[in-house]
Chain A
Amino acid sequence: MKSSPASVPATSETQNPVQASRLRRLQGLGIFCGFAAGAWLGGAEAPIKLVNPEISPITVSLVMVCGVFLARWSVPAFLRGTAHVRSDVRQAPHLVIWAVLAGCMWAVANTLTIYAIRDVGLSIAFPLWNSNSLLGIFWGFLLFNELRHAGWKRWLGVLGGAVSMFGGAALLAIASSHQASPGRATMGVLAALGAGVLWGTMYIPYRKAYLTGMNPLSFITFFTVGELATMTILAVGYRGAGPLWNEISNARPVLFWLMAGGFVWVLGDLFQQYAAKYIGISRGIPLSNTNQLWGLLWGILVFHELRGGSRSVYLLVAGGSLLMALGAVAIALSSATEREHSSWQDAAYREGRRYGIEAEYVRAGMEGREFGDAAKKRSLVDWFLILSTTGLFAMLALIAKLPHSDLSRAWGVVLCVVMLALLAACGTALWRTTRFR
């Protein structure tokens, strides 16, 4: 944190607004990132579906988070080098606290979903925790000036789109549910709602970081510390260190799939973070929630999940998918105007004044530009992170077994190609427009 808050202007009214053409480009990029996030977050479910259901959900979660941890350090090292992370922390050290807090929230929410599914089933639990995007819109409006001066058409687009996606998610969850009748219903509903509130509120630290100018690649490296620490404490506390270790040892043939799920999830989450940065949480989060559509595609096409389903199930899937797609389109067409964006700048400079951050750093972050000396070479630490993560994944791949036999490999390849095409296209767009800033 810089000690010269005087360099930050009193209000953004004294600042020049972001150039209109640059703003449009960043908004388009954010929307693209939101859709790419949906594909990769949904694709992360595929490796996990390969895992034997006898492994306890807490252990599954912990191993997946280990994959997440490795990815969250190695991907930034690969893309920009950890020197950029250090440089970001020097500018806005307070965001380390926010990132760790957000990571803790993610881990608790993720564990709550396990209990929610156990107690009320996926069909009730999923729509309840999917309400997180509605809460995200609320916090975005209340705390970060999102949707201010947006006009009723954009309000209708964003709110109507989010409600439509919520309805679509509910239909899809009912269609894809294979759970037994609800048992401890009240606690299950509370767990699902709790997860939704935790995830919806977790977007406060996200927005805080990106308004201030922090790079998503830096934010996630600290986010994951809170995530892994909380998940480890919960897993050891609930399972006991000995039984947990035994379970992980016995699960060696599937560790690769779980950790690969974590890795894929991180790529999706990175796109989600860039979406939150460039189009705000009120638009970025609902767009990322299209992951449910992608999860369903994997389930139906690759894992034959709805095979032999009744006509009503297929109607639910078609209706739910249509509602989700319409909602996403409505949000994508409601990008922020220059007036709304200048309200975001007000919130950004408020953050800058509070934490004494250089105004130019905040502005460069909002415009997706480099700040300071951009040329930083990768260090030995970066190469160590990249090579050790690659080595560990290669080692786990060698001992991995494919437990699921009833798979459509052709569809699996098709979906992987689509995901990789999205990764390449969106990654290139991010590089060209912002240099992953």
Chain B
Amino acid sequence: MRPERSPSRRLFSAVASDVHFWIPLVVLLGGLFLLDKLH
């Protein structure tokens, strides 16, 4: 029987499996990359 996950692990797992989360994250990383090129 698998031990029950802690609330914080459940929270991060719910966020990480939410495809909506990856859209802004990828856009943010793209923005940082662009900023680096501009600087």
Residues of chain A whose beta carbon lies under 8 Å from any beta carbon of chain B:
1, 3, 93-94, 97-98, 101-102, 104-105, 108-109, 111-112, 115, 119, 139, 143, 187, 190-191, 194-195, 197-198, 201-202, 204-205, 208, 234, 238, 354-356
Residues of B within 8 A of A205 (CB): 24
Chain B stretch 1-15: residues in CB contact (< 8 A) with chain A: 7, 10-11, 14-15
Rounded to whole angstroms, the CA-CA distance of A191 and B38 in the bound complex is 8
With beta carbons under 8 angstroms apart, the residue of A94, A101, A195 that contacts B24 is A101
The 7 closest A-B pairs by CB, nearest first: A108-B31, A201-B27, A115-B38, A194-B34, A198-B31, A201-B24, A105-B28
Rounded to whole angstroms, the CA-CA distance of A64 and B11 in the bound complex is 33
Q: A105-B28, A197-B27, A202-B24 are in contact. List 5 more A-B contacts (CB 8 A).
A: A1-B11, A1-B14, A3-B7, A97-B11, A109-B31
> In this complex, what residue of B is CB-closest to A93?
B11
Rounded to whole angstroms, the CA-CA distance of A72 and B5 in the bound complex is 34
Q: Given contacts A94-B15, A187-B37, is CB(A204)–CB(B23) below 8 Å?
A: yes
B contact residues, range = 20 to 34
Residues of B within 8 A of A191 (CB): 34, 38
Sample (23) of A-B pairs whose CB atoms are under 8 Å apart: A1-B14, A3-B7, A94-B14, A94-B15, A97-B15, A98-B21, A101-B24, A101-B25, A112-B34, A115-B35, A115-B39, A119-B38, A139-B23, A143-B20, A190-B34, A194-B31, A197-B30, A201-B23, A201-B24, A204-B20, A205-B24, A355-B11, A355-B14
Instruction: Report the minimal beta-carbon distance from B37 to chain A, rounded to whole angstroms.
Output: 7
Rounded to whole angstroms, the CA-CA distance of A205 and B37 in the bound complex is 26
Tell me if A112 and B38 are in contact (CB < 8 A): yes
Residues of A within 8 A of B7 (CB): 1, 3
Rounded to whole angstroms, the CA-CA distance of A356 and B14 in the bound complex is 9
Rounded to whole angstroms, the CA-CA distance of A38 and B25 in the bound complex is 28
With beta carbons under 8 angstroms apart, the residue of B15, B23, B25, B28 that contacts A108 is B28
Rounded to whole angstroms, the CA-CA distance of A105 and B24 in the bound complex is 8
Tell me if A94 and B31 are in contact (CB < 8 A): no
> In this complex, what residue of B is CB-closest to A114?
B38
Instruction: Report the minimal beta-carbon distance from B23 to chain A, rounded to whole angstroms.
Output: 6
Tell me if A108 and B35 are in contact (CB < 8 A): yes
Residues of B within 8 A of A204 (CB): 20, 23-24
Residues of B within 8 A of A112 (CB): 31, 34-35, 38
Q: Given contacts A1-B11, A3-B7, A190-B34, is CB(A354)–CB(B18) below 8 Å?
A: yes
> In this complex, what residue of B is CB-closest to A119?
B38
Instruction: Report the minimal beta-carbon distance from B20 to chain A, rounded to whole angstroms.
Output: 6
Rounded to whole angstroms, the CA-CA distance of A3 and B11 in the bound complex is 10
Tell me if B32 and A108 are in contact (CB < 8 A): yes
> In this complex, what residue of A is CB-closest to B33?
A194
Instruction: Report the minimal beta-carbon distance from B10 to chain A, rounded to whole angstroms.
Output: 7
Residues of A within 8 A of B27 (CB): 105, 197-198, 201
